[in-house]
Structure 1
Amino acid sequence: MKKILGAVAALLMCGQVMAAGPGESSNPFDGGAWSVQFGTGEGNQRLTINRETAPLWTHNFSSSRIELVGELGLSYWWTTQDVDPGAKKSVWQANAIPMFRYWPTQQIYVEAGVGATFFSDTRFHDKNISTSFQFGDHVGAGYQLTRNTRIGLRVSHFSNLSIKRPNPGINNIAINIATTF
């Protein structure tokens, strides 16, 4: 677990360095952001803190744009329900997710991404996910409330792609609040 936390801390610092590019931008999110997510699903809750990098790639259309950002984060999962014998009531998760975000307007976005995640244990609540390494698939949508604040809703699925069985997957729906400082 210490190795995972150390790796996430290093990635978060790299995200801060990558976000500090030359020149000024009219969009404060072009410098990266921090986000907090709270999700629930299948009797589990998840609290996540993400460092969102500055856009790694952007393509502007006449009235819309698409961008690729990196999300590096740490999640704490827990359940208040009874757990299977030998399973944990809580686990940690580290993630690195490339997210494509399409902005059809200046305020509205839709997003999707797939990336690597690592769980601190393979037995959680009523699931045996077999491997600590999992893929995270995410789709969502949101709205930029103010110049520095964005809200969204995201559906996530975590699975090991049947690298090892059993592979029940874990599903989660989360609200997301992102901000720049």
Structure 2
Amino acid sequence: MSPLTAGPVGHARSNASGHETVPPEPVSPDGPGGAAEPGLAARPFRRVLGRPPVFRTRAALTAIALLGVIAGPAPAGAQPMPSVDTGPTVSQGMDFSGFGVRWGYNDRYQRFGLSYETRPWWIYNTENWGQITASTEVLAAGWRASGGRDPGSLWQLGVTPVLRWWPTEYVYGEIGVGANVFNRTTFADRSLGSAFQFGSHIGVGMLLNERHRLGLRYTHYSNADIKSPNQGLDVFELTYTLRF
């Protein structure tokens, strides 16, 4: 076989058999008629990175500048945005009235009472120490002496303002001082001196849930020596309140 006859690039070449052989034309990387870009390996790299680094830097600086404007101080006279309510506050959680039962014990006598408690008529929120509330408790109670002491029964009506400190929404401490009227001046071998008695108590308690509350109290009754003798009455109490 004879070697191909050399000819100008892009022109036909003939071989020994007389047939012309046309070599393929060089193909541009960008297609027919396009100019070849230097460095074909750089094209996939550009597709991955997207825009040039200079453009990305300018976009980042613009975004930072916008954030600075948004986060900067509000102009004079601008109204603050309203706060978002994240749930009930302590004062909302304490805003209840309720009915309760009171059972008091002393080794000489016992007491059973029914009470009504008003909604708080005074509320004070401290900065770091919880909340203080004031409400009024109305009580009707009956007393029963033990051990054959005489007289063996006593009836009571009372009104007591109660001050409670709530360090949290669930536990509290309380104090109260009120006025009471008894149906007799002697009970369980004791002389009360007068039918009118002051009542004072201290106590602690907790919420079982939104509607149910339990407490413990120590309560003392006396007439503050308005009239003698003034032997008074004392009970330890278990209290339960159904709130509504």
TM bracket (short chain): 0.7 to 0.9
1:66 to 109, 119, 132: 132
Among all aligned residue pairs of Structure 1 and Structure 2, give the percentage whose two residues are the same amino acid: 35
Q: Distance in 2 between matches of 1:169 and 1:143?
A: 29
In the other structure, the counterpart of 2:151 is: 88
Unaligned runs of 5+ in 2: 1-90
In the other structure, the counterpart of 1:138 is: 201
TM-score by length of 1: 0.81
Asked if residue 119 in structure 1 is aligned to residue 185 in structure 2, the reply is no
2:96 to 31, 45, 52: 31
Q: Hey, which bits of structure 1, 4+ residues long, moved more than 3 A?
A: none
1:79 to 125, 138, 145: 145
Q: Looking at both structures, which has the greater relative contact order when contacts are Cα pairs under 8 Å and sequence separation is at least 6?
A: 1
Asked if residue 177 in structure 1 is aligned to residue 243 in structure 2, the reply is no
In the other structure, the counterpart of 1:10 is: none
Q: Is the 8 A contact 2:107 2:146 kept in 1?
A: no
Q: Distance in 2 between matches of 1:180 and 1:108?
A: 15
Unaligned runs of 5+ in 1: 1-24
Q: Structure 1 residues 79 and 93, CA, compared in 2 at 3 Å: closer, same or farther?
A: same
| Aligned amino acid, residue 69 of structure 1 | S
Q: Distance in 1 between matches of 2:99 and 2:174?
A: 16
| Aligned amino acid, residue 186 of structure 2 | R
Secondary structure class of the residue paired with 1:31: coil
Q: Which has the larger radius of gyration?
A: 2
Q: Distance in 2 between matches of 1:62 and 1:154?
A: 28
TM-score by length of 2: 0.60
Alignment RMSD: 1.3
In the other structure, the counterpart of 2:115 is: 50
